[in-house]
Copies of this chain bind each other. A is one copy, B any other.
Amino acid sequence: MSRAKRPGEFELIARYFRPLAAGKAGALELADDAALIDLPPGRRLVVTADLLTAGVHFLNDDPPDCIARKALRVNLSDLAAMAARPLAYLLTCAFPESVEEAWVAGFAAGLARDQEEFDVVLMGGDTTATPGLLTLSITALGSVEPGRELRRSTAKKGDLIAVSGTIGDAALGLARLQGRLEPLAGDDRLIDRYRLPQPRISLAQQLAAVGLATAALDVSDGLAADLGHICEASGLAATVEAGRLPLSPAARNALEREPKLLEALLTGGDDYELLFTLPAGRRGELAGLPVTVIGHTEEGAGVKVLDPAGKVMALERSGFQHF
């Protein structure tokens, strides 16, 4: 037992989590049973919750500040996918009984840093010790102008399919961390992409403000699988040209060395980029935005990926499933 090594539950909360709720009256200093939240007038509440557990969503020896920030960011990415503006979050943690105070301090420091970056504050939650693995659940609250929210089910036949940033970096970063991939130039950036997603909050709001995106989600299970979700929800098929996939220089190097990696880039998870559809006639409005058109929707069902030679690829796994 390491009980003597660190403060108790209430002290940990007071020392590391209460400061994260400072300045927000409705958080009631995390000392009450629930938080009171006022929505900006005329806006609609948007809520999402994601759970992360050691060995599945992060590695046990990932730095604690990165684990904290990833947990927060995957939730902010879900808000982004709806074009919502983040407001606040709640955090529940099951810390292993052996957790050290320094680890909790690093974890809270990561949250503090991202609270500033994304203008959100901790409004409540729960801390417990577990004989099991580190498990975190975050509920993120945001707001959206009614009618401006982005959905998965509203893509139209003949829409273009676009994606932000670059795809596949996080999957390569994870493969590097797990030793499944030889060292690469630009490794660090790939590992960063795995550990620290960049939720596309402002891009999504920009697209929604002018009604440019017809449907959207964030790429968490892998591009092919997530595009499948849009297709299924919208009752459409999609064709993607793998040759158009936006790749980072490091991913491009990896792919040149090992062309078989293309499938991993298409199906790897953890990108947290914005995948969306738009009317073909409005393609010009993408100019200047960090997005790439990779395909289009059509009548039918399912996702077809064409390789750079124009041949349909047979993807062995279409994306990450937990079971």
Contact = CB atoms under 8 A, between A and B. Distances in A.
B56 A130 contact: yes
A132 B132 contact: yes
Interface stretch (A121-129, A239-247, A299-307): A121-129
A33 B48 contact: yes
A37 interface: yes
B323 A32 contact: no
Size band of the A side of the interface?
Answer: 35 or more
A322 B93 CA distance: 12
A34 interface: yes
Interface string A131-162: 11101010111101000010111000000000
A323 B81 contact: no
Interface string A29-49: 001111111110000111111
A22 interface: no
**Copies of this chain, count:** 2
A131 B129 contact: no
Nearest to A84: B34
A321 interface: yes
A53 B90 contact: no
Interface stretch (A4-12, A112-120, A182-190, A284-292): A4-12
11 contacts: A9-B322, A31-B152, A33-B79, A33-B218, A36-B46, A47-B124, A49-B90, A49-B91, A50-B92, A51-B94, A53-B94
Given A9-B321, A49-B139, 12 more contacts: A3-B323, A12-B323, A31-B229, A31-B233, A33-B152, A34-B81, A34-B142, A36-B45, A47-B90, A51-B94, A53-B130, A126-B137
